[in-house]
A and B are shown apart, each in its own frame.
Chain A
Amino acid sequence: MALKYEEVIAKYEPSLGLEVHVELGTASKMFCGCNTVFGAAANTQTCPVCLGLPGALPVVNGKAIEYTIAIGLALNCSIAPYSRFARKNYFYPDMPKNFQTSQYDEPICTNGYLDITIETDEGSKDFRIEIERVHMEEDTGKSLHMGGATGRIHGADYSLLDYNRAGIPLVEIVTKVVNGCGKYAPEVAKAYVSELRDVLRGLGVSDVKMEQGSLRCDANVSLRIIGSEKLGTRSETKNVNSLKSVERAIRSEMIRHAELLNSNQRVIQETRHFHEDTGLTTSGRSKEQAEDYRYFPEPDLVPIAPSKELIAKIAATLPEKPSVRRKKLQEAWQVPDKEMAAMINAEVLDLVEATVKLGADPTRARSWWLGEIARIANEKAVAAADLAISAADVAEVVALIVKGELTDKLARQVVEALINGEGSVGQIIEARGIKVVSDDSSLMAAIERAIAAAPDVAEKVRGGNIPASGALIGAVMKDSKGQADAAKVRDLLLKHLGQG
């Protein structure tokens, strides 16, 4: 019998530790000139350096260093005047040199923080997530395990290696232990990753696509009895690849830990894998015996010593913080906190902004993205941004509504068709023969019929009770089988009843 989340948080205090890996969007790899485009044919974006051929040597990508400094500054970190790369030694077939060039005890950025806000039933709550370090490293290649049932290495017949990803610049952002979230821990984690993603997107240093793995989150969770000082044993759930999964994975781990602890079993220190379908994690690799990576300073690279001028130059070009940007948008759009939070939660804020930029009014833009489109995205279990509808499409639909060429109901059909890939807005309207009834005389006749059917309501409206007009408008819409433009009906009706 599974424990309820409420029972978990009544007894235990969770602690979190989040490690986020970000693939930087540099044109070339971390230590060589190879291309970094995603999805190229296997092993076509490789050279002696990123294949780890004997004799090849790394040269640091200056752009990657600048990007990392920008990330550090955006996360309020200190930038080390002197830092070094180190070798992390372990054997794995998709790691060409059998060591990863990373940073160890001398990372480039340390001691920062990121402030986040979550909306709760008790109102908004602010949290400061402290950042331990931001460091650079190179990505590994990819192993594709062929045959067998699971796609995992166990039971595979053979494996294929693709080194295109080997050497792609990665930045790892590690938080300090996050305490004091209580029951909100899963939301806090999600909000942190979301905010971090916005910061990174704003900096333009990565395309931050969780599904493609350009942003990956490892979530460490432990529980301790409320009031106790000592942290519990943690588990580390690897490569959680959506914001929603971050929240789900942490919640699931909290419940799993609590169940173990309640039955006097011990939590094993290990990595876990999160499964989207079941919402549960399964055991990965034990970390009980700390692996010995035999770190030592990378002798093939010289220390990184960014000048004060370079750091100042990068600091001067930082974009405004996402929180500041959001505040500005909220003021400009006159949106309540809850609505704002809803847009952020549904990951449509950027889309709404883009739609508004293309001329749509903020209220309509918001209601489309947060309403109909979010609903379909939810149904399809994908992000709104990944549907086949763009901000330009929505702006076009909104413009047609304003012009009276589409009603809300017809517009919904167009939006659905757009998402189904039936073509452009114009093509869809033409193909489906969608046309708005805007003939005033036929509308007026319908209005007359509605008034005649409910004279008492009409009297209320005449007396100044505008909301009462809703019933009449509804009757007209019904009469026209939804083809009429509701806004137009409202205008005509109110005018007719002396309230226009």
Chain B
Amino acid sequence: MINKSAVEMAESLSKGEITSVELTKAHLNQINEVDGQVHAFLHVDTQGALDQASQVDAKRSAGEKMPALAGVPLALKDVLVQKGIPTTCGSKMLEGWRPPYDSTVVRKLKENGIVILGKTNMDEFAMGSSTENSAYGPTKNPWDLTRIPGGSGGGSSASLASFQAPLAIGTDTGGSIRQPAAVTGTVGVKPTYGAVSRYGLVAFSSSLDQAGPCARTVLDAAYLHEAIAGHDPLDSTSINAQVPAVVAAAKDGNVKGMKIGVIKELQGDGYQAGVLKLFNESLEILASLGAEIVEVSCKYFDYALAAYYLIAPSECSSNLARFDAMRYGIRSGQGSAEEVMNSTRQIGFGREVKRRIILGTYALSSGYYDAYYGSAQKVRTLISRDFESAFKLADVLVSPTAPTTAFKIGEKSNDPIAMYLNDIATIPTNLAGIGGMSLPSGLAAEDGLPAGFQIMAPAMKDDLMYKVGAALEAELNTKWQGPILNSAPKLGAK
């Protein structure tokens, strides 16, 4: 059962072939079985999940009309607060903190009867592309336990790829949903900025952060997307508009007559040959389905990474100021408040977080603001304009999600720039606030590891990504004779 899609599980539940408690237990068993190797979870809420599952079962047997995903388990990235459940953001700083409130995403999951299994590992405060920056140790890629599962949401993607959960929630500031999806052979979607409430999402970079669905199929992601999206009065940046009909779009999956734009700047140098080859094969498939492939140029994308590494650290330097040992989290040191703050932040934050706080503090300093933060904001506007022009030529834009397949754990730990380059193709969408999806394009010839195909759509036209993604996924699954994860090595065999 755990190898099935979330939609198939939901069908079995509604037909009464299985109960949510049984389904939840099966996943808890799998977690017991394999998570010692993978380390996807930071906290497993066994009792809470079973309680939630039995409530769903009770309602269902009482004849209540249930939401589509009611009773299906899910893994929650540890950056979203859940009342009473430890939330660490992968940081020592928040060790032992149990939030007194639910994030809006969690509230919606609960309202939809989705069973929350636990909290997944991540790069500390979502800063990283490998989950190696977690204060609680790295997560391993289920395809190859010596490799990274992507980041920052490596715990969520690895939990899906190792069948510990059929659904997961990620957050994406510069690619943290899509790049992990790409390197684990799963699906990840960053919706349009403002489509999913950020209330209760512990902020890394407020103007870039966006929570979204992670799954093993495009349709599963669409159902989860509809469950968590929608206007939230508690988030001022939440969009007050109808959620695009992404489930209908995923079921439709017809790309005939659509124009698909290939971004010239997101290929070539720095991209692994096998990754590019798979990308081109996917384009051929889409063309064979009746889509028109056009090439577009977004010349300011060359500056996207630089702009991102000014804006995100600037915002993070301010967002992470609240971790001062006064109200929650760990406390270290003695003496004045200042000494306690200093000492706590010294030991509470890891190297990458400190690096970015220092970068951001510098970039916002008087005398440097215009040159750094100010210029980065201008680049951001130019990138948005690049997208606007490109969307005049194409309905959706596409690229490889990440330039390479999963690298080895430790390989880039001491080279931040090499690490940052992993997000070169995902960052522009965050800067422009538009949506992006990654789905598997196949296994790269060089290393037999999964690669990702990225689809980007204009703001609040997230349905277009699902339409194209579903079309491509169907063809690829036919070609592979089943989902790509069928080719992943079996874990847990002792």
Contacts and interface: CB of A to CB of B under 8 A. Distances in A.
Given A60-B236, A300-B237, A97 B321 contact: yes
B315 A299 contact: yes
A55 B318 contact: no
Contacts of A58: 236
A380 interface: no
Nearest to A92: B337
Interface in A33-78: 48, 51-60
B234 A57 contact: yes
Contacts of A60: 236
The majority secondary structure among interface residues of chain B is loop
A214 interface: no
Given A58-B236, A59-B236, A52 B327 contact: yes
Closest 3 CB pairs of A and B: A98-B321, A294-B364, A299-B206
Contacts, number: 100
Contacts of B365: 292, 294
B327 A51 contact: yes
Nearest to B314: A296
Contacts of A53: 81, 99-101, 327-328
B233 interface: yes
A89 interface: yes
13 contacts: A48-B99, A54-B322, A55-B199, A55-B201, A59-B236, A89-B318, A91-B321, A159-B337, A294-B317, A296-B314, A300-B237, A301-B236, A302-B237
Q: How large is the interface on B (under 10, 10 to 19, 20 to 34, 35 or more residues)?
A: 35 or more
Interface of A: 48, 51-60, 87, 89, 91, 93, 96-99, 159, 161, 290, 292, 294-296, 299-302
A99 B413 CA distance: 32
B321 A99 contact: yes
B50 interface: no
A161 B337 CA distance: 11
Contact of A55 (B103, B315, B364, B373): B103
A54 B81 contact: yes
B320 to A, nearest CB: 9
Interface of B: 80-81, 87, 89, 94, 97, 99-101, 103, 198-203, 205-207, 233-237, 314-315, 317-318, 321-324, 326-328, 337-338, 341, 361, 364-366, 369, 373
A54 B202 contact: yes
Contacts of B103: 55
A55 B80 contact: yes
B363 to A, nearest CB: 9
Contacts of B200: 55-56
Contacts of B314: 296
Contact of A48 (B97, B100, B361): B100
Contact of A98 (B198, B324, B364): B324
The residue among A52, A53, A57 with the most chain B CB atoms within 10 A of its own CB is A57
Contact of A89 (B100, B233, B364): B364
Given A54-B81, A93-B326, A98-B321, 9 more contacts: A54-B94, A54-B202, A59-B234, A99-B318, A294-B318, A294-B366, A299-B205, A299-B315, A302-B236
Contacts of A299: 205-207, 237, 315
A290 to B, nearest CB: 8
Contacts of B87: 54
Contact of A91 (B81, B234, B327, B338): B338
B326 A294 contact: no
B341 A57 contact: no
Contacts of B234: 57, 59
B373 A296 contact: yes
A59 B364 contact: no
A56 B366 CA distance: 28
